[in-house]
Amino acid sequence: MRFNQHSCNRCAESCHGRAISIQNGLEVTNDTCSGCMLCVSACPSGCFEIRRLDFYSVLSRLKGIPSPVLGCSDEPCVVAHEKTCCLGFLSEEHLMALSAFLQQPVQINLTACAACKNGFIVEVLKGRLETIHEKTSAAISKNIVLVEEEAELVFRDVFVGRRTFFKTIKTLAMRNAAALFPPETPKKGVSAYSGKKVPFRRALLNRILPTLSGETYGEVLKHFYYTASVDRLCDDCFSCVAACPSGAFTTEQNESEVFLLHKSSLCTGCGLCVGFCMNKAIQITPGYAKGSPHAFSRIKKENTSRQVQSSVA
C-alpha cells in the first residue's frame, strides 16, 4: 500500500511451498501453504502475524522451569513444557530473547521434524543460530539447544503446587475474560496509510538490548541496528517520513530550517525509504554507533562520490 513497486520479496523467497505471491498485491495460496511460518520470521516489517500467539506469555511460562523445553503443537507426541505453532517463526530475535530472558539452556524439541512436511525448518534454525554465533561471539546463542534425537532430550515434568494451581486458574480466567472483548478493527474505507507500527521482532530486540553489556551490546548494535544517511541530492520533500511503516523518520524545525531525524531502534532496515525516494538520496546501512539507538538523531546531508561525479559531469 505504501510502495507496491518495492523490490523486497523475502516472504516469497522463504516460502518452500511457493504459496506466496506479491505480483498483484500479497496473496497466499492456502492449498500449498504448509504453515511453516517462515514468512513470519522473514518479513522485516511484520506484515505476517500468528493469531493467538503471545510470545511474551510463552517466555513467562518457561521462565523458572529447570531445563525448559519448547515444542511444536502440530505433533501430539512431542513433549514440551510449552508448545506453539510450527517453530519456523523463531527468528534470530526470538532465539536471542529465549536465551537472554530465560538465562538458562532452553531445549527446542525438533524430534518429530524429520517426519514432518516442514522438516526443512531444522536446517533453517541451525543457520539462524550459526548467524547469531557469528554476529555476537556466541554470547547470546549459547543457551539454545536444538534437540533432534529423543535420547538427547532432557524433559522433567513440572510439579504444580496448590499455589501454582490457583495462580494458573486465575490467569486462564483473565485470558478468557479478555477474549470476550476483541480488539477494535479499522473501519472499512478508512486508509491506514498514516498509521505507524513497530514490528514485533524489532520491539523484542529493543527489550533484549538493555539486558546486554560490554562487547555483546556493541555487537548487537553493529549487526542488528541501522544507520540512515542522506546526501546532497535530498530536496527535503520528507516523503520518507510518510513512507516509513515503523515511524523511524520524523522532522525537527528551528527558526530557519527543517531537519530530518532518524531513530535506529524503530528502523528495521526494510529499505522502503530507499526505494521510495525519487532522488535516491537515502542510504540505510547496517550498524549503529552514534549513542543511544532509542533517541532521534539529526541526519546531516553528506557529500557522496555520486554527488561529486554528478558535479564533475
Summarised one tens digit per residue, pLDDT across range 203-244 is 999 999 999 988 999 999 999 999 999 999 999 999 999 899
In what side-by-side order are the strands of the sheet with 282-286?
282-286, 226-231, 301-302
Statement: residue 273 has pLDDT above 90:
yes
Domain 225-302: give its CATH architecture.
Answer: 2-Layer Sandwich (3.30)
CB 46 within 8 A of CB 200: yes
* Exposure string over 184-222, b if 16+ CB within 10 A, otherwise e: eeeeeeeeeeeeeebbbbbebbbebbeebeeebeebbbe
Summarised one tens digit per residue, pLDDT across range 119-143 is 999 999 999 999 999 998 767 778 9
Can you tell me the distance from the alpha carbon of 68 to that of 80, in angstroms, rounded to the nearest whole number?
8
Query: If pLDDT is split at 50, 70 and 90, which confidence band does 181 have?
Result: very low
Can you tell me the distance from the alpha carbon of 302 to that of 290, in angstroms, rounded to the nearest whole number?
16
In what side-by-side order are the strands of the sheet with 249-253?
249-253, 258-262, 297-298
pLDDT at 213: 86
Q: How many CB atoms lie within 10 A of CB 137?
A: 13
Residue indicated by cell numbers 561529486:
308
Summarised one tens digit per residue, pLDDT across range 41-64 is 999 988 888 988 999 999 999 998
To 5 degrees, how large is the angle CA 192–CA 195–CA 199? 115
Q: Please count the residues of the chain.
A: 313
Can you tell me the distance from the alpha carbon of 45 to that of 41, in angstroms, rounded to the nearest whole number?
10
Query: If pLDDT is split at 50, 70 and 90, which confidence band does 1 have?
Result: low
**Residues above pLDDT 70, as percent of the chain:** 84
Statement: residue 194 has pLDDT above 70:
no
Helix (H, G, I), strand (E, B) or coil at 297: strand
pLDDT at 174: 54
CATH 3.30.70.3270 residue ranges of the chain are 225-302
Query: If pLDDT is split at 50, 70 and 90, which confidence band does 313 have?
Result: very low
CB 233 within 8 A of CB 305: no
Helix (H) or strand (E) holding 165: helix 162-179
* CA 7 remoteness from chain centre: 19
Can you tell me the distance from the alpha carbon of 101 to that of 45, in angstroms, rounded to the nearest whole number?
24
Can you tell me the distance from the alpha carbon of 302 to that of 291, in angstroms, rounded to the nearest whole number?
19
Helix (H) or strand (E) holding 252: strand 249-253
Statement: residue 169 has pLDDT above 70:
no
**Residues above pLDDT 90, as percent of the chain:** 61
Can you tell me the distance from the alpha carbon of 292 to that of 77, in angstroms, rounded to the nearest whole number?
46
Query: If pLDDT is split at 50, 70 and 90, which confidence band does 79 have?
Result: very high
* 193 vs 313, residue with greater confidence: 193
Mean pLDDT of 7-35: 89
Which has the closest alpha carbon to 155: 59, 68, 71? 68
pLDDT at 158: 73
Question: What residues pair up with 95 in beta bridges, in sequence order?
Answer: none
Helix (H, G, I), strand (E, B) or coil at 280: coil
